[in-house]
Structure 1
Amino acid sequence: MSQDLINPARVDFVTLRLFCAVAQTGSITKGAERCNLALSAASRRISDFEVASRAVLMERTAQGIRLTPAGHVALQHAMRLFQGFELFSNELSEYSSGSRGHVRLWANMSALVEFLPSALERFLHLYPETRVEVEEQLSGDIVRALVEGVADVGIFVEGAPTHGLDVRPFRTDRLVVLCSKAHPLAAVEDTDFRSCLSYDFVGLNRGSSLLNTIAGAAHDIGFPLRLRVQVRSFDAMTEMIASNLGIGVLPLGACYRKLEPMGLKAVRLVDAWAERQLLIATSATRPLSGSATLLVEHLGKPAD
């Protein structure tokens, strides 16, 4: 490294700010006042700055301080440094406040299909510099991911273990029995789950909270659940049900747009468990980033 270069360790932002203030006011006294420094300390800083710069930066005249050509160059660079530092500070502030950042959101299928698209659209309109990475997962996997720090925010159905988590309500979804309009159940507007158990079912794969719910309800009633087809998504369920391969239990919000186009009927379930509470959860031990905090607050607001 050239011996003529200024050692950055000998120049600090207090001195640079003082130098700019003296240059702008034309007075060391006024510059010191602007920077809340004693006059003696300010004079020493200016002198040390000139020594570090290996150049005369200011001329003392009867009218005050006047910059030399080297001083004008120093002032331009000092101003650029302050502008860069201000940008640096503002951008870090955006991350700490949450207007920028990255959030890992894991949600179960019901939340992802019914509620999150519109909620995330509004959030990202407010905070376009925030990236939300969304994954569909089973409720039990979401809980583990939150505890282990793999996910920042999780949404799942009430009933999953929540030890080690901070939890708040998200939305309520209503389960219905979906059937083809050619199915006998299509003749009624509502029914209890017991009356459905004489028919074949289309269900989700093992591990889903919805399958666990209806399997548990069938067990409590004392009737077997006749699962004829198991699939991985609500879309696949509706296709199978439309082909009259069985009936299925789905959230109303996940299927109501498909009722008329696919010749389906949604029959209201009167059982108390058919109204489910979805929860927002975060780790109780890991602090949230600013962007994750903003997302949780946004999702926790009542739907319009």
Structure 2
Amino acid sequence: MPGPINPARIDFVTLRLFCAVVQTGSITKGAQECHLAVSAASRRLSDFEAATGTKLLERSSQGIAPTPAGNVAMQHAMRLFHGFEQLGSELEDYSRGVRGHVRLWANMSALTEFLPTALSTFLTRNPDIRVEVEEQLSGDIVRAVVDGLADIGVFAENTPTSGLTVTPFQTDELVVLCPAKHPLARRKRVDFRACLAHDFVGLNRGSSLLELTSRASEQVGLPMRLRVQVRSFDAMCHMVAANLGIGIAPLAACRSQIGELNLKVVRLNDAWAVRRLLLASKPAAELAPAAALLLDHLRSAYPKEPDWPPAEKPRESA
């Protein structure tokens, strides 16, 4: 049985070659991308497989394809390259006088509603800290914090967060957006069940909001008819304005589009329409000083007495 991999037997040239071969499906093309002779490339790949103790590449007349173990190796190699790029970027920051670098991943709702103001205040007070912000889906954000690709994550509740320190950040309200002439436009409040009689414009698969509304439709036993799926709230508003369906979106994230596109807002009676956004990080002892400083700043932005759970809302008769 092979023992642990000896890191001294694997270098970045070999890892880069391995990734190039997998991506091109050819040892020859991979070697060309890495400026290596084909014979030298083949020897490196054989040594790489010997070092790991398992077969990483399948060779056939159709080309080269990764084995299941090769796919795992590819994922880890890409993660190492990403970390190496971050190392170079952060060291360059220090050489230019920047004394801290924080990687913040957040979902679309947090980025559009709450983070711009919070980050503006933080960076004004701490001009020697650089914050790298990336928009991702809630599940991907948590995995990035666990894997060390992000220092801090902001995401919607009901996302598994094993092993992370989690605190509340903000609350947002989800509302129904519809065209001015839509049948729901005359209502001030509505049950989500009643919305399911209409076509929807939704976010793409994997978004926490789509998962939330899909789960709500399953709970009432009615299908959610997704006519169009988009990647942003801005695109959702334009599709709703074009009468392609109604949308469920955070009120604050779409406020500027509502008047511009003549959309109507209908509040939802359902308790899940008011949801928490959460902050996650590794334990405080594992955070760099700049990341700990930003985390404290974001925590201080949370309302002292948030309306959570939400107060019972008046219901509108059908």
| TM-score, normalisation: structure 2 | 0.63
Q: Which runs of 5+ in 2 are unaligned?
A: 1-93, 304-318
* 1:153 and 2:152 aligned: yes
Query: Per the alignment, in what secondary structure is the counterpart of residue 245 of structure 2?
Result: coil
Q: What is the correspondence of 1:199-278 to structure 2 with a 5 Å cutoff? A: 199-278=198-277
Q: Deviations over 1:52-108 (max 9, x none)?
A: xxxxxxxxxxxxxxxxxxxxxxxxxxxxxxxxxxxxxxxxxxx9xxx9300000000
In 1, the alpha carbon distance for the partners of 2:103 and 2:129 equals: 11
Matches of 2:99 and 2:198, distance apart in 1: 51
Equivalent AA in structure 2 for residue 124 of structure 1:
L
1:231-285: per-residue Cα shift (whole Å, max 9, x none)? Answer: 1111110010011110010000111122111110111011000010000000238
Aligned counterparts, 1:66-77, within 5 A = none
- Structure 2: which amino acid aligns with 1:258? Q
CA distance in 2, matches of 1:171, 1:266: 21
In the TM superposition, 1:1-304 aligns within 5 A as 100-284=99-283, 287-302=286-301
1:300, distance to aligned residue in structure 2 (A): 0.7
Which string of whole-angstrom CA distances, capped at 9 and with x for unpartnered residues, describes residues 133-183 of structure 1? 000001110111011100000000110001110001000000000111111
Distance 2:192 2:283 in 1: 37
Local SS of the residue matching 2:176: strand
* Pair 1:265–1:233, CA change in 2 (3 A): same
Amino acid at match of 2:184: L
Amino acid at match of 1:184: P
* Secondary structure at the counterpart of residue 286 of structure 2: coil
Q: Aligned to 1:172, what secondary structure does the other structure show?
A: strand
Q: Secondary structure at the match of 1:134?
A: strand
In structure 2, what is the Cα distance between the partners aligned to 1:299 and 1:237? 28
Structure 2 residue matching 1:104: 3-state secondary structure: strand
Return the alpha-carbon distance in structure 2 between the equivalents of residues 181 and 210 of structure 1. 24
- List, as ranges, runs of 4+ consecutive aligned residues in structure 1 with deviation greater than 3 Å: none
Distance 1:285 1:148, change over 3 A: farther
- Cα distance in 2 between the residues matched to 1:133 and 1:303: 21
Whole-angstrom distance in 2 between the partners of 1:240 and 1:116: 25
Q: CA deviation at 1:301?
A: 1.2
Question: Is residue 168–residue 302 contact of structure 2 (8 Å, CA) maintained in 1?
Answer: no
Q: Percent identity?
A: 60
Q: Cα deviation per residue 1:204-225 (whole Å; 9 max; x = unaligned)?
A: 0000000000000000000000
Structure 2 match to 1:60? none
Q: Which amino acid aligns with 2:136?
A: Q
Contact kept, 8 Å, 1:111 with 1:278, in 2: the verdict is yes
Structure 1 match to 2:82: none
**Alignment length, in residue pairs?**
207
Deviates more, 1:222-231 or 1:276-285: 276-285
Conservation of the 8 A alpha-carbon contact between 2:284 and 2:292? no
The one-letter code matched in structure 2 to 1:277 is: R
Contact 1:143–1:162 under 8 Å retained in 2: yes
Please give the alpha-carbon distance, in whole angstroms, between the structure 1 residues aligned to 2:275 and 2:215: 14
TM-score by length of 1: 0.66
Distance 1:128 1:233, change over 3 A: same
- Opposite residue 101 of structure 1, the aligned amino acid is G
Q: What is the CA–CA distance in structure 1 between the aligned matches of 2:199 and 2:162, rounded to whole Å?
A: 37
SS at match of 1:145: helix
